[in-house]
């Protein structure tokens, strides 16, 4: 940890399971210590990586031994505002299943995507999302444990839900850059409500690239802005694979003082 942030990355750096990735990150030598792992979870009819109670206990034990923390990225197929009641019920059940499976890890936050509505009136979609989400948040210790992430070029459907339910925000810097948005004005607006920041590079064709793809000087400005804040946040390098991980660490060491 440096200043007022904790540095982390995803559970998909080595080609193995959640516990193996956590151990690898905890034990790796060199600068820029990793002290958080984002559990990137998915659940489909074919495959699921939601941890069992036994696996969650193992993750908690490893984290305690190595002073590691977690964030949890809820599956992207959770659609709490869908027009089909059966989809909403299934999404709510999946939300609850993930929270129950990972609560003992005491994550910094659970991160949620709010999918865009289809060709229907936005107000009805927002009402359904809020109605489905409210009791789920009620099972958390605080609504701020849920962080709603910016994933689209326009951040317009999420704010009414964030403000009505008093959730946190997950600021994805990489998405802002990918869509050509003003990072600094977004930080001004949402950083007070933010628990988790995602960073990753991008090209015109691809997102979630190495931090080496970020504009020169960007990291100094970003971390300078975050370090000036009074509360601790987690900065997650949302990248996948050893190559992008090592390249990202090298970039941090080149442009920042060692952590």
Distance CA 146, CA 140 (A): 8
- Please report whether residue 195 resides in a domain: no
Query: Which of 12-21, 44-53, 84-93, 248-257 has the least mean pLDDT?
Result: 248-257
Angle at 143 between CA 229 and CA 25, to 5 degrees: 60
Query: Which of 118-122, 138-142, 220-224 has the least mean pLDDT?
Result: 118-122
Q: What is the pLDDT of residues 158-186, one digit of tens each?
A: 999 999 999 999 999 999 999 999 999 99
pTM of the model: 0.93
Q: Tokens 């962080």, residue?
A: 147
224, pLDDT greater than 70: yes
Cβ(144)–Cβ(196) below 8 Å: no
CATH number of the structural domain spanning residue 150:
3.20.20.150
Distance CA 20, CA 4 (A): 28
- 1 band by pLDDT with thresholds 50, 70 and 90: very low
- Please report whether residue 249 resides in a domain: no
- Please report whether residue 152 resides in a domain: yes
In terms of residue numbers, what domain contains 139? 10-188
Q: What is the pLDDT of residues 7-33, one digit of tens each?
A: 999 999 999 999 999 999 999 987 788
- Please report whether residue 139 resides in a domain: yes
Q: What is the pLDDT of residues 99-113, one digit of tens each?
A: 999 999 999 999 999
Element (H, E) at 252: helix 242-255
Compute the Cα dihedral for 175, 179, 183, 188 and give only its sign: negative
157, pLDDT greater than 60: yes
DSSP letter at 39 equals: E
254 vs 161: which has the higher pLDDT:
161
Half-sphere exposure of 18 (CA within 13 A, CB side): 28
- Please report whether residue 194 resides in a domain: no
Domain count, the chain: 1
Q: What's the rounded mean pLDDT across residues 1-8?
A: 68
Q: What's the rounded mean pLDDT across residues 123-129?
A: 93
Query: Which of 144-158, 197-211, 218-232 has the least mean pLDDT?
Result: 218-232
| Percentage of the chain lying above the pLDDT 70 cut | 95
- Please report whether residue 75 resides in a domain: yes
- DSSP β-ladder status, 36-40 and 146-149: unpaired
Q: What is residue 229's predicted lDDT score, i.e. its pLDDT?
A: 67
- Please report whether residue 109 resides in a domain: yes
């Amino acid at each position: 940890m440096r200043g007022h942030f904790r540095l982390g990355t995803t559970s998909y750096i080595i080609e193995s399971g959640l516990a193996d990735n956590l151990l690898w990150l905890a034990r790796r030598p060199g600068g820029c210590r990793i002290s958080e792992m984002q559990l990137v979870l998915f659940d489909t009819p074919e495959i699921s990586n939601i941890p069992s109670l036994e696996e969650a206990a193992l993750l908690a034990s490893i984290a305690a031994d190595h002073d590691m923390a977690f964030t949890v990225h809820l599956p992207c197929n959770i659609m709490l505002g869908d027009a089909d009641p059966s989809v909403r019920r299934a999404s709510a059940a999946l939300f609850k299943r993930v929270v129950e499976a990972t609560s003992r890890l005491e994550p910094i936050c659970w991160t949620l995507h709010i999918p865009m509505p289809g060709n229907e009136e936005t107000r009805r979609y927002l009402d359904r999302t809020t109605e489905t989400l409210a009791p789920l948040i009620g099972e958390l210790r605080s609504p701020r444990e849920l962080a709603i992430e910016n994933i689209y070029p326009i951040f317009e459907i999420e704010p009414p839900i964030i403000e009505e339910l008093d959730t946190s925000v997950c600021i994805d810097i990489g998405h802002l850059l990918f869509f050509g948005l003003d990072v600094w004005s977004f930080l001004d607006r949402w950083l007070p409500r933010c628990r988790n920041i995602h960073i990753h590079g991008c090209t015109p064709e691809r997102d979630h690239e190495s931090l080496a793809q970020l504009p020169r000087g960007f990291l100094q400005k970003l971390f300078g802005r975050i370090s000036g804040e009074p509360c601790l946040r987690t900065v997650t390098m949302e990248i996948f694979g050893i190559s992008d991980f090592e390249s990202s660490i090298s970039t941090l060491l080149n442009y920042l003082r060692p952590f």
